[in-house]
Amino acid sequence: MEHRFYTLDVFTSNRFEGNPLAVFTDGDGLSDDQMLAIAREMNLSETVFVQKPTDEEALARLRIFTTKEELKLAGHPVIGTWYCLQNWASFLRRMAASIFFKRPELESCR
């Protein structure tokens, strides 16, 4: 089973400074034990798993794990995860736009 993840440093613009964080953007389908095992393997202060929301008013469900347990809430993981998702969404929009604008060129090559 493959899952996409990102590592980032929260509260800094410099690598290897700030608060380290791992964000798994596709955390659905992982059991609690699997998420805890992954968090242990990442060996960071927190690892976040983004899942589909369980509340209709929510945008996503964030599951935050340390190497020992799941946390109900933690500041830098939430801020870092939303920053990561915002940048990921921006990247996807740019990719979709570039594919859309290049498509006529591809069709004219047929």
Distance, in Å, from the CA atom of 46 to the CA atom of 102, rounded to the nearest integer, reads 40
Q: Is there a catalytic annotation at residue 46?
A: yes
- Residue whose token pair is 């469900």: 61
Report the SS3 class of residue 66: coil
Distance of CA 104 to the CA centre of its chain: 33
The active-site residue, picked from 46, 56, 70, 107, is: 46
Residues acting as catalytic residues: 46
